Amino acid sequence: MLLALLWLGLSACSPPGSQGGAGSADGAAAGPLDAGAMKQAVAEALVLPDTLDRLSAICALMERVDAENVEGARDAYDAAVEGLDRDEVRVFANAWARIDARAALDWFTHWRAPMVGQSAISEVVHYWTRHGGADEARAFALASLGPEGPESGTVRNLIVDATAAGLASAGRHEALTKLLEDLPSGQERSWVITQAMIEFYRSGMPKLRAWVDSIPWEAKNDLKRDALHSALVSLAHYDPAAAFAWYEEVEPKLALGAYLDGIAEAAGARDPLATIEWLRGRKDSAGRHLGLRSAAYHYLKSDGKAASAWIRAHLDDPAIDASMRFPLTQYLISVDIHEALPLAEKIEAPGEKIAALKQILAMWSRKDHPAVERYMAEVGVPNEVEQAVLGLHAIRQQQREVKKAGSEGPKP
């Protein structure tokens, strides 16, 4: 996207008739720019109202930033700080990092614009890391922030994110693994892994897989499994078949059923039936059970008629019965409660059975309470279900009586 914007800015900053015009780019179209001219040109570009015009003009000017005029661009940004967005700042940060990453990082870590400044810091660290200065960039950025405090925590996390992304972009697998395995396993590290994965995806899935495959199984803090989990779930969103094939290769080294719930949630949204069929080929486990249930919900949501027919036809499979009877019952409640009732009667999990029966009988009771009473007496239902249905009926009766009394008005 950035390259496209650069090309647009260099070739034609603004199409004919655009509202934004091309004031700054046209005014600085030829000849070298000193600091004053760069400041004026950047200031004019930053106020262009059209997004494409503005970014095109800024990108064109950033191509012309050099050591002699970078302070002019910096001053223009500083003067316009209240109206800047993150993309505009990242472009300038990248241009300055090409000239003097250390100076850029020093200035941005002390800038009076902490929100957009975070994007600038991230961009400089990313650029510096990508060009071989990972340790230096990270150390310098952290030192520039000074003693760690509540206000600097977010920026410190961004520096780690940017370092990981820069290492991934540069294809430095060993250094990336070292950075990540020193972080404790948990949500924060999962986020950093995601930042690295985004960079790998820019070059294609094989790049991501090459890094994950390169991580030793004995890496500290269970990094291999955490990275593998994130990669498989991410891939399942876009290419379920590839995720399934990769999982089967590493399955012998994983705990039984590991990651299946997350993979099924992601893949099931794209191809629920294929996900179900694949899960049926896995060994029985809690993960497979949750995965089958998740895929069933996706299938019922995307094509209820076909999904309900498929599930009914496969309820003789214990795994399908245990994981999908309840989702199927919930779907049929919205279609026909009398179809849902016989399915609910055979739900094995007590909590799920009670929940389904409560919902079905409460809905039926609204239309024909005597029939529900006969059903509960003849078939027998858990006491919790009976009390809930009778309680709701009693409340409805009271509401009817109050409404009736109100409509009749006070007696003379």
Nearest to 360 by CA among 409, 322, 394, 326: 326
Q: Say yes or no to pLDDT of 404 above 80.
A: no
pLDDT for 411 beyond 60: no
Using the structure block, give the residue that is written with the tokens 């399915």.
343
Confidence at residue 133, expressed as pLDDT on a 0 to 100 scale:
86
Residue with tokens 């399908």: 320
Domain ranges, ordered by start, for the chain: 171-238, 242-335, 337-394
* Arithmetic mean of pLDDT, 170-189: 91
Q: Kindly tell me if the per-residue pLDDT of 195 is higher than 70.
A: yes
Name the pLDDT band for 332 (thresholds 50, 70, 90).
Answer: very high
d(CA 211, CA 295): 29
- The number of beta carbons lying within 10 Å of the beta carbon of residue 174 is 11
pLDDT for 356-395, tens place per residue?
999 999 999 999 999 999 999 999 899 999 999 999 988 8
For residue range 133-174, list pLDDT tens digits in order.
888 888 887 777 666 544 456 777 888 899 999 999 999 999
State mean pLDDT over 192-207. Answer: 93
Amino acid at 152: S
The pLDDT of residue 24 is 42
> Model confidence over 229-271: pLDDT tens digits?
999 999 999 999 999 999 999 999 999 999 999 999 999 999 9
Produce one character per residue of 82-93: b if its CB has 16 or more CB atoms within 10 Å, e if not.
Answer: eebebbbbbbbb
In angstroms, what CA-CA distances link 80 with 26, 85, 107? 21, 10, 16
Q: How many CB atoms lie within 10 A of CB 333?
A: 18
Residue % of the chain over a pLDDT of 90: 74
Mean pLDDT value of segment 274-288: 97
What is the DSSP-derived secondary structure letter of residue 239? Answer: -
8 A C-beta contact, residue 329 and residue 359: no
